[in-house]
Amino acid sequence: MKENVFFKKKIFTIDKLFLKKSFKKIKKIKFVKTLKKADVGDLTFYDSKIYMDDAISTKASFCITTNRLANDLPKNTEKIIVKNVLYELALILKRIYPFADIDYPDLTLKNTNNKSNKSVKFGNNVLIGKNVKLGKGTIIGSNSIIEHDVVIGKNCVIGSNVIIKNSIIGDRVVIQDNCKIGQKGFGFIPNKKRNIKFPHIGLVLIHDDVEIASGCTIDRGSVDDTIIGKNTYLDNQVHIAHNVKIGSNCMIAGQVGFAGSSTIGDNVSIGGQAGISGHLNIGNNVKIGGGSGVVKDIEDNQIVMGYPAISFKEFIKKNKKNNEQN
């Protein structure tokens, strides 16, 4: 796997990260990855039975986990037993990626001074960071900021007052005015003495032909990436938290909010002001009514509505019964 160019990384051997633990093999840590993506030489973490299938098949050399979960992991994965997995992970990420817990200003930004060329057109006062790659035919509106190492594909339209960082964007993507993409998510580990910030080392990946309307915010991933699938449309003021994965050909109406680490299937439609809780799986071809609160997984081809969201037929029956009683 290629090095993450967005965040500077310090190199540690596993024994230097966990001074009070002993290890069969002393290795340099290549990457910190999720159970599913980790490979030999990587450090991962396992904190919930929700991810048991990924734990069983992980290729990671080392895993931060608890006594209760350790037996789910392969024999070749060394277990690092702790009381609070996410707390320990946050401390380790802070050491390996010391600049990932705060969005520091990009000091490499330079003003394009409206100097458009044959390939790319700029509005007034556009700032571009070091090593940014912009595809042919792309237009960037006035007062927008594209930070270091961001990749934007061909024939994209970026509106005015847009800020993009820590992101890779495909072709023919439209991002309208006042959007912010790739910032650190809302990640904290509660602690009575002092809440601990959780560093975010993931990216935002936006696939081809996506359209993002005005005022949307999309947080980068924490350890994984935040992903928007092909041909998906976001209405105004949609918020997408860290690690969320939205499939292809979805339609998301205004002011919908996604909590972290939920997965949305293909061809999903969500009405305005709905809320999706974290760590959920929403299947393909699902329709979610406006104002709904989704607090559990939804299987393919379901229509749900209400708070908490229930099947549409059940919702109609419940409302009819309530009206009759009143």
- Whether residue 256 lies inside any domain: the answer is yes
Nearest 5°: the CA angle 189, 254, 145 is: 70
pLDDT digits (tens, 9 = 90+) for 111-122: 998 777 779 999
Do 264 and 291 lie in one domain? The reply is yes
Do 88 and 122 lie in one domain? The reply is no
DSSP-derived secondary structure for 152-210: E-TT-EE-TT-EE-SEEE-TT-EE-TT-EEEE----EE--SS-PEE------EEE-TT-
Do 80 and 208 lie in one domain? The reply is no
Mean pLDDT, the chain cut into blocks of 10 residues (326 residues total): 75 92 88 95 95 96 96 96 94 93 92 84 95 96 97 98 98 98 91 87 97 98 96 98 98 97 97 96 98 97 95 86 68
Q: What is the pTM of this model?
A: 0.92
- Whether residue 324 lies inside any domain: the answer is no
- Whether residue 51 lies inside any domain: the answer is yes
Do 251 and 125 lie in one domain? The reply is yes
Q: Indicate the residue among 61, 96, 131 that finishes a domain.
A: 96
- Whether residue 121 lies inside any domain: the answer is yes
* Domains identified in the chain, total number: 2
CATH number at residue 207: 2.160.10.10
Catalytic residue from among 207, 239, 242, 279: 242
Q: Indicate the residue among 96, 119, 149 that finishes a domain.
A: 96
The structure tokens 């549409």 sit at 312
pLDDT number for residue 1 = 43
pLDDT number for residue 201 = 94
Selection from 122, 110, 106, 258 nearest residue 167 by Cα: 106
pLDDT number for residue 324 = 66
- Whether residue 8 lies inside any domain: the answer is no
Do 128 and 275 lie in one domain? The reply is yes
Do 65 and 146 lie in one domain? The reply is no
Known catalytic membership, residue 279: no
- Whether residue 326 lies inside any domain: the answer is no
- Whether residue 7 lies inside any domain: the answer is no
CATH number at residue 61: 3.40.1390.10
Q: Indicate the residue among 64, 96, 128 that finishes a domain.
A: 96
- Whether residue 21 lies inside any domain: the answer is yes
Q: How far is CA 164 from CA 36, 55, 143, 179, in A?
A: 27, 33, 12, 8
Do 154 and 211 lie in one domain? The reply is yes
Do 132 and 180 lie in one domain? The reply is yes
pLDDT number for residue 316 = 87
pLDDT digits (tens, 9 = 90+) for 129-166: 999 999 999 999 999 999 999 999 999 999 999 999 99
Q: Give me 55's structure tokens.
A: 């734990």
Please, how many CA atoms are within 13 Å of residue 189, restricted to the half-sphere of its CB? 17
Do 238 and 146 lie in one domain? The reply is yes
Do 269 and 172 lie in one domain? The reply is yes
Range of the domain at 194: 110-315
Do 235 and 309 lie in one domain? The reply is yes
Do 179 and 257 lie in one domain? The reply is yes
Chain Cα centroid distance, residue 234 = 15
